[in-house]
Amino acid sequence: MREVAVLGVGQSKFGKMPDISVAELGRDAALAAVEDAGINVKEIQVAYGSRLFDLMCTSQDILKEIGVTNIEMVNVENACSGGSTAVRGVWKEIASGHYDIGIAIGAESMTTSPIAGRLIPPGKDDLNGQLGLTMPGVFGMLARRQMEENGATKEDFAQVSVKNHHHGCLNPFAQYKKEFTIEAVLNSRMICDPITLLECCPNSDGAAAVILCSMDVARKYTRNPVRILSSSLLSGDYSYRQDDITLSPLGVKTAQMAYEMAGCGPEDIDVVELHDAFAPEEILRYEDLGLCKKGEGIAFLRSGASALGGKVPVNPSGGLLALGHPLSASGVRVVVEITQQLRGRAGQHQVDGAKVGLAHMLGGMVTGLEAGACCIHILAK
């Protein structure tokens, strides 16, 4: 397997933009990535695109707008981890030597999707969903278990939202740039006890793109390429094998695979972007990724370790909570963010001295399984 580098990154602003099509959002992100890479669009040899709603032939519909046609294009759907899956697809194409340069795109317009303004509806054969086990319901139960077993408080969950919204104020791409107090978060509308409105990520529109290439190609354009040290993707196991709902065997195993491939451990990670669809979830992911021991996520948060200036800043972009969550775009966006952090180009939310970063995305609920998929990329400069 060849070394793979990130040559260019780009993203649209995230927000509610019903007058802008998914193809336009994707075009803007793709053009930004091409410009950042400093290449001609004709050099792109393969493309992977991801979306959950709206477009057919995602890559084709987007890339025709920038003059890219007549190449291999693959389109994937993997819930929230779809964008990460697209990045992994291009990574495999280049690492295996099939191509030298490719692009991964994730794009979504939630405000014009068939579920605009509503929860994602369960499938007819999704027994759990039909009985009311929606995403807020799942994470509400997890939060209650955290409170019972690990000493978490409602104020701890609110602090995650306060932290990420503060980070979002520093990010020009964020949907929401507003500071909140713990009291404001706790007093926002109750969604699923104990989760309040300001502890839920917003539905958003947006797109992100990354251009990957072989190391030989990268060295023609830059002396300091950002390398992808590892890429891991797993689907969830049967839920009856999950002994403790506050620990994700899927997340733990995916992280272990990523660390082993990268030749590093959680102690080497300087910055993390992860799936924080609901504030209590972020605390669980600290433990899945090995940033702290099982049961110590609350202490990790309270110590300030996950805030900018802390030991391992988590979601310095603002995360899904403040930046927004265009489902299929988010998995690409976390790779964009980690790349910019390692380049030292993250602006006001830059993590000083970041050399190794982790991009995490979890996606999907399937009756009988712990979760749909988890994808992790570890990058280094």
User: 301-352: per-residue pLDDT in tens?
Assistant: 999 999 999 999 999 999 999 999 999 999 999 999 999 999 999 999 999 9
Which one is catalytic: 165, 166, 167, 325? 325
Checking if the pLDDT of 366 tops 90, the result is: no
Share of the chain above pLDDT 90, in %: 86
Which pLDDT does position 117 carry in this prediction? 66
pLDDT band at 115 (very low <50, low <70, confident <90, very high): confident
Which pLDDT does position 134 carry in this prediction? 83
Which pLDDT does position 56 carry in this prediction? 87
Instruction: Check residue 356 and report its DSSP letter.
Output: E
CATH of the structural domain 4-115+204-226, one choice from 3.40.605.10, 3.40.50.10540, 1.20.1250.20, 3.40.47.10:
3.40.47.10
CA dihedral 273, 277, 278, 283 (to 10 degrees): -30
Tokens found for residue 156? 């701890």
Checking if the pLDDT of 225 tops 90, the result is: yes
Query: Is position 98 annotated as part of the catalytic site?
Result: no
Lowest mean pLDDT of 38-52, 172-186, 360-374, name the range. 360-374
Q: How far apart are CA 168 and CA 137, in angstroms?
A: 26
CA dihedral 33, 47, 333, 111 (to 10 degrees): 110
Q: Which residues contact 304 (CB under 8 A, 6 or more apart)?
A: 310
| 3-state SS assignment for residue 381 | coil
The mean of the pLDDT values for the chain is 95
Mean pLDDT over 222-247 rounds to 93
- For residues 73 and 93, the answer to whether their CB atoms sit within 8 Å is no
Q: Which residues contact 167 (CB under 8 A, 6 or more apart)?
A: 307, 308, 315, 316, 317, 318, 319, 322, 349
Mean pLDDT over 104-122 rounds to 82
Domain assignments of the chain as residue spans, ordered by start: 4-115+204-226, 127-200+230-380
User: 39-96: per-residue pLDDT in tens?
Assistant: 999 999 999 999 998 778 999 999 999 999 999 999 999 999 999 999 999 999 999 9
| 3-state SS assignment for residue 375 | strand
User: 180-203: per-residue pLDDT in tens?
Assistant: 999 999 999 999 999 999 999 998
Q: Measured between alpha carbons, how far is residue 269 from residues 141, 307, 355, 358, 365 in Å?
A: 30, 14, 8, 7, 28
Query: Span 127-200+230-380: which CATH code?
Result: 3.40.47.10
Mean pLDDT over 354-364 rounds to 96
Q: How far apart are CA 111 and CA 114, in angstroms?
A: 9
Q: Measured between alpha carbons, how far is residue 213 from residues 99, 100, 163 in Å?
A: 8, 5, 35
Checking if the pLDDT of 367 tops 90, the result is: no
Which pLDDT does position 40 carry in this prediction? 96
Question: Side chain identity at 184, as an amino acid letter?
Answer: A
User: 117-155: per-residue pLDDT in tens?
Assistant: 666 777 778 887 788 788 899 999 999 999 999 999 999
Same fold, 4-115+204-226 and 127-200+230-380: yes
**Does pTM top 0.85 for this prediction?**
yes
Query: Is position 325 annotated as part of the catalytic site?
Result: yes
